[in-house]
Amino acid sequence: MQVDAQLIEACKKRERYAQKVLYETFAPPMRAICLRYARTFSDAEDLLHEGFIKVFANIRQYSGKGSFEGWMKRIFINLSITYFHKKQKQNIFQNIDDVSEISLRHNRTDDEDTEADSGMKSVILNSEFSVEEIQQAMSELPDGYRMVFNLYVFEEHSHKEIGEMLKIKENTSKSQLARARKSMQQKLYDLAIRKMKYSNHDGNNYLKLVI
């Protein structure tokens, strides 16, 4: 998204009308980013406002080199990470024993698990999900899973970088990502099954795939 240099200059002078124009231009994409990192809409809105206050306060540091949107995005992501650290009251990176219950619940072996994943994948890929449904599924992830997932998938950081940002080990980051994917898969699969049930008008209630 291109930004008028005059607009940035006006924002550097702290002119309110310019700040409003900047907000109205960049609030929609930045809000979407905040929604990915926050658990609720109100948290995302708080994050958004804090982010813009920081943008307005530090805009003089923007030298003009590189994308302005990228510069803003960096601020919001760093703020999200700070927000995450603040919200963390205990180590949310669960012991692998706790997380494995997803597999254990179904009493599956690893091979059976792989086969189950394939089945779920087929169901998920054959279903259509709205933006809100995907967003909702992400919001339901535990905070740690969601942070690692966002930084890896959207910001394309390596596990080493994620470890440094979140102050965790590289291996922990890898395992958190795996768990996040697993959790997302399960949620999307459950959603797909529910949608199939409700869309069947002839009263038959059957599943395309049996797990």
Partner 1 sequence: MADNLKYIDDLVRNVLEHRMVNSPDQSWETLEKKIPVPGFWQFNLRRFNIYYLSSITAAILILLFILTYIPGNDVTLKYDKNDSGKIALSNTEPGVPANSNINAIAPKDTIGNEKNTVPHDNIAQPEYVNEQQNINEKKNKSLKSNIRKLFKQTNPVSESVQPVSYVLKDFTVQANEQKIEEEKNVQNQLEYFVREKFDIPQLTTLGLNIGNTDFRIAIPDTSRKFNLLFENLELSQQNSRYYAELFFSPLYTYNQLTAKNGSYEELMTERKNLEKPLVSYSVGGNFYYMLTNSVFLQTGLAYSRLGEKFSKGGVMSIDSATVSLADSNTVWFYNIDSFYVGIYDSIPYTYATGTYHTEMNYDSTFKNSVSSINRFSYLEIPIILGYQFNRPRFSYSVKAGIITGFLLNASGKSLSTGDAQTIEDINSNMLFKKPVFSYTFGTGISYQITERFYLTGEAYYRKSFTSIFKEYPLIQKYETYGLRLGIRYGF
Nearer to partner 1, 85 or 121 (CB): 121
For residues 55 and 52, give the distance between their C-alpha atoms in angstroms, rounded to a whole number.
5
| Shortest distance (Å) from residue 85 CB to partner 1 | 22
147: its two tokens: 């942070």
| Shortest distance (Å) from residue 184 CB to partner 1 | 5
For residues 179 and 175, give the distance between their C-alpha atoms in angstroms, rounded to a whole number.
6
Residue type, 184: M
Nearer to partner 1, 147 or 188 (CB): 188
**DSSP-derived secondary structure letter, 81:** H
| Shortest distance (Å) from residue 4 CB to partner 1 | 9
Kindly give, in sequence order, each residue whose CB lies less than 8 Å from that of residue 83, ignoring residues fewer than 6 positions away: 37, 38, 43, 47, 50
**DSSP-derived secondary structure letter, 61:** G
Which stretches of the chain bind partner 1, using CB under 8 A? 6, 10, 14-17, 19-20, 23-24, 27-29, 31-32, 35-36, 45, 49, 52-53, 56-57, 110, 113-114, 117-118, 121, 124-125, 129, 131, 134-135, 138, 149, 152-154, 177-178, 181-182, 184-185, 188
| Shortest distance (Å) from residue 209 CB to partner 1 | 16
Answer for the pair 48, 34: CB distance below 8 angstroms, yes or no: yes
Nearer to partner 1, 100 or 200 (CB): 100
